[in-house]
Structure 1
Amino acid sequence: MNQAQFDKIKNGKGFIAALDQSGGSTPKALALYGVPEDSYSGEDEMFDLVHQMRTRIITSPAFDSKYILGAILFEQTMDRKIEGLYTADYLAEKKGIVPFLKVDKGLAEESNGVQLMKPITDLDETLRRANERHIFGTKMRSVIKEANEEGIKAVVDQQFEVGKQIIAAGLVPIIEPEVDINSPEKEKCEELLKAEILRHLDNLGENEDVMLKVTIPTKANLYKELIDHPKVVRVVALSGGYSTDVANEKLKENNGLIASFSRALSQDLNANQTDEEFNAALENAVKDIYEASIS
């Protein structure tokens, strides 16, 4: 593990950019960016276009380590290059930004009010390649929709089980049990989730450190205990479908919780913008999310 990167993520001021929309969500991400589905044919063209979008974001002067601590990449992005360097190397060497990799394979069908992760059958191979590509940590997402104790326990058990495999490979896992912002039982889900996470954190071994990625809680500062836990490197928040403004306002109510926004970061970016317009829009989003993260 890179100690300088570890220290930056643990103690740095700023937030983590999520640039990891994968196969299923890519058409939607491109459409929001002003590239309609009928303007490309096939997956190859689609992934070329989304890499162009991510390259434009990452190479923008607004994508600055003064505000951004790390960036979460999709596997295809890790294997592609920006200005002749693999993406993670470009982030680390040219930008001073710590690279993470999304490793989950999407969500299983809903059961007990939750969606577990689909099995990650090639995880060992992915982690080997992640190390080769100088990735610092990983991210994997599950979703909680109901305050079902059995379901929430299953989500957290699975996350930590996979997380330990990632730690054993020398990487830092971002454990992401998202609570659906539209759940009528959101607050109750969060109480149950916090208790389950604490139980697992207390059982981690000496060199087993994790990060957590959570939905911004209904009750402000609910996750303070997680943020302060000695086994937790950092707790980051997803925007979860909230607009940038709403997500930022909610984030400000939670001390020590920093952003790891995807849609809220890129919602005002468009393929048809001039570089000047694009960079200005990105700079506005970056600065607003940064301010919310350090408040």
Structure 2
Amino acid sequence: MTSTAQQAMLEQVRSGSGFIAALDQSGGSTPKALALYGIESAEYNTEDEMFGKVHEMRTRIITNPAFNGERVLGAILFENTLDREIEAKATANYLWEEKHVVPFLKVDKGLEAEANGVQLMKTIPSLDALLAKANAQNVFGTKMRSVVKLANADGIEAIVKQQFTVAKQILAAGLVPIIEPEVDINSPEKAAAEALLKTAILAHLDTLNDGQQVMLKLTLPETANFYAECVAHPKVLKVVALSGGYARDEANARLAENHGIIASFSRALTQGVSAQQCNDKFTETLDSAIADIYAASLT
């Protein structure tokens, strides 16, 4: 990527108005995403056919006139999507060059079994090669997800330490990592887990070098503006929120209460769009979803 393009992407993420679309469903989450879109498992037989179907869904969203950099700052892609094209252009290049939407890449490879109330990320094999591939395709940043189930101090420290260890490797490759330690919205200890998580994140932010910045992707908290210290932190480029299973209306209402945080929604973004809709209805539905999430992200 040229330094000019990188600087333009950085400025859009830092100062632009809008939100980040999470279009990175992968592996086990893909059949559910397709079913919600109106494509049943009987309509594909192999994994490659399944990923072909989900790429068709993402292509329809990305190429839609409602989807552009005026309201959508960035989009998170799955590696399989990075390997595919939209209108004869590599997907990441299409996003930036045609839509002015900043491309990010999901780099984690799923979750370990729960231990100490959390699910750590599985080891990411060949991460350096994946980061080199991302750089070659003009990707700006990455995303990696782990999950907090309970307010277990040891587990939460382990999850944050793992996230920042990998983030430093990503920063060294010249990419901006989105650190995503998701707190399960159904946790019986959600507020207590959020308190432990914020303390751990703030401590690890202080281990970054001067001039380094990361992004944080966090579950919408129980207390409004709970992550204000993270939003204001000089080593945080942007705090974004995941919908985490909340329906779009509730996710937007919670987001609007948290100043300086923007959305990075997946299911809440695509809720209501379907393969069976005509183009006009599809555009109307997508435009309405984008407008609502954009408005909630402006607060």
Q: How many residues are paired up?
A: 295
User: SS of the residue aligned with 1:187?
Assistant: helix
Partner Cα distance (1:47, 1:75) in 2: 11
Aligned to 2:17: 13
Q: Choose which of 275, 278, 281 in structure 2 pairs with 1:277.
A: 281
Residue 190 in 1 paired to residue 190 in 2?
no
Q: CA deviation at 1:101?
A: 0.2
Aligned to 2:133: 129
Amino acid at match of 1:80: R
With normalisation by structure 1, the TM-score equals 0.99
Aligned to 1:226: 230
Q: CA deviation at 1:121?
A: 1.2
User: SS of the residue aligned with 2:73?
Assistant: strand
Aligned to 1:178: 182
Q: CA deviation at 1:7?
A: 1.0
Task: List runs of 5+ in structure 2 lacking aligned partners.
Answer: none
Q: CA deviation at 1:202?
A: 1.4
Amino acid at match of 1:280: E
Partner Cα distance (1:106, 1:113) in 2: 17
Q: CA deviation at 1:65?
A: 1.1
Task: List runs of 5+ in structure 1 lacking aligned partners.
Answer: none
Cα shift readout 1:82-140 (whole Å, capped 9, x = no counterpart): 00100010000000010000000000000000000000011011001000111000000
- 5 Å-filtered alignment, 1:65-76, equals 65-76=69-80
- 5 Å-filtered alignment, 1:1-150, equals 2-150=6-154
Amino acid at match of 1:180: D
Amino acid at match of 2:51: F
Q: CA deviation at 1:79?
A: 0.8
Amino acid at match of 1:221: N
Partner Cα distance (2:15, 2:198) in 1: 23
Amino acid at match of 1:135: V
Aligned to 2:292: 288
Q: CA deviation at 1:66?
A: 1.0
Residue 239 in 1 paired to residue 204 in 2?
no
User: SS of the residue aligned with 2:252?
Assistant: helix
Partner Cα distance (2:129, 2:211) in 1: 22
With normalisation by structure 2, the TM-score equals 0.98
Cα shift readout 1:246-271 (whole Å, capped 9, x = no counterpart): 00000011000100000000011100
| Percent identity (aligned) | 62
Cα shift readout 1:214-236 (whole Å, capped 9, x = no counterpart): 00000100000000000000000
Aligned CA RMSD, in angstroms, stands at 0.6
Amino acid at match of 2:242: L
Q: CA deviation at 1:207?
A: 2.9
